Amino acid sequence: MTKIKICGITRTEDALFACLSGADALGFNFSQSSPRFVTPDAARKIIAEMPPLVTTAGIFVEQTPDEISDLCSYCGLQVAQLHSDAYTPEHALRVRGAKVIRVFRPRPEFRLEEVREFADATGCNAFLFDAYSPVMAGGTGESIGHSTAIGLFDRTRDFAWALLAGGLTPGNVGEAVRLVRPWGVDTASGVESAPGIKDPLKTKAFIEAVRDADRALRSCV
């Protein structure tokens, strides 16, 4: 079953609704350049209200490994999502107390070998592929082309758990799941009424679209 991550959580009510609707994980963005920025105190408060068995992930762009480790401990985050090309294998190895998801944003000169090299150097086996933008690190609403995504995921299945992000909405995530067959999907702007404000109808529709696609895939086996 495809894992579902709702990212850019800033409000307790959005977090709880996503959990009750079937989300597997929630993301909290600590980049101050993001319209979905959440303070450590706010994230800590939201996470304290969440039910068990839902994974919490911090999205980091500017922080050092020590800052990431401290934030994960303070807020109760289980995963550190390294969402910048500046994060090297050495940075990932210095993160303490949380599993690492390394984000790659395939640009024209991107080499898939970069993912394998990162995995070999760190032991990291979780990656997220997001649309490249020279302006923002994520949450742009831009999509990775289906042919590019299919190639990425087909070639990483043997060594990584990979999530697909970038422009996923209730209207297109079902097709993405059926074509790309990612381990997980991630959305932020695709289920919002405004940056950082989740729309309950869109959130529910997104999760239902993923589950419908999962059922369709199982029926084909």
How large is the angle between the packed helices 40-49 and 65-75, nearest 10 degrees?
Answer: 40
**199 is known as an active-site residue:** no
Task: Render the burial of 89-119: b for 16+ CB within 10 Å, e for the rest.
Answer: bebbeebeebbbbbbbbbeeeeeeeebeebb
Q: How far apart are CA 85 and CA 114, in angstroms?
A: 11
* Contact in structure between 58 and 100 (CB atoms under 8 Å): no
Rounded to 5 degrees, φ, ψ at 208 are -65, -35
Q: How far apart are CA 11 and CA 63, in angstroms?
A: 22
Q: CA 89: distance to chain centroid? A: 19
Catalytic residue among 7, 19, 72, 124: 7
Other CB atoms within 10 A of residue 60 CB? 28
**130 is known as an active-site residue:** yes
Q: How far apart are CA 221 and CA 219, in angstroms?
A: 6
Catalytic residue among 70, 130, 186, 220: 130
Q: How far apart are CA 31 and CA 59, in angstroms?
A: 7
Just list the catalytic residues.
7, 130
